[in-house]
Amino acid sequence: MSADRIRLTYGLRVDHLAIPVADQDISRRFYERYFGFGAGARRHDDGVLMLHNARGFALGLGPAEEPIVPPAWMHFGVHLRDRAAVLALRERLAADGVELVEDHDDPDYVSVKCRDPDGYIVEAFWEPED
């Protein structure tokens, strides 16, 4: 069954991601500043801080109990509104000294990948709608 068929059949939509972080305040500032997670925050009883973006996606920042060592391949992406938004974010990240790990600038796909304060790779990207 195709992903589109699954979505239509079950109404499936991924709407949150939870990751362990060493310092919730530092991570919160990072995700609010660069990736639009400033639409609200709530701390749950288990200590997880949930950040929300304007689209309703929630990013959970849980207190890490062990050193964080994400696999080299692991990343998650944030779709931006257009090509210019990705290029502008890339410039902001670079100007602020955020580690950039990869970028693409093709007519049908533009992206920048950076490391967050805990070493997770976050990709900001844009590609035309089908």
pLDDT at 73 over 80: yes
C-alpha 1/C-alpha 49 separation (Å) is 35
User: Is 112 strand, coil or helix?
Assistant: strand
Tally of structural domains, the chain: 2
What CATH number does residue 50 fall under? 3.30.720
The secondary structure of residue 12, as a DSSP letter, is -
What CATH number does residue 84 fall under? 3.10.180.10
What does pTM read for this prediction?
A: 0.86
Q: What is the mean pLDDT of residues 15-25?
A: 95
Give the pLDDT of residue 48: 96
Q: What is the mean pLDDT of residues 64-85?
A: 92
Q: What is the mean pLDDT of residues 36-64?
A: 93
Give the pLDDT of residue 40: 86
In a shared domain, residues 45 and 103: no
Average pLDDT over the chain, rounded to an integer: 91
Residue 68: CB atoms within 10 Å = 14
In a shared domain, residues 3 and 54: yes
Q: What is the mean pLDDT of residues 28-53?
A: 94
User: Is 97 strand, coil or helix?
Assistant: coil
In a shared domain, residues 59 and 81: no
Per the structure, the complete domain to which residue 89 belongs is given by: 73-130
pLDDT, one tens digit per residue, over 81-114 is: 999 999 999 999 999 999 999 999 998 999 999 9
Give the pLDDT of residue 90: 98
In a shared domain, residues 31 and 90: no
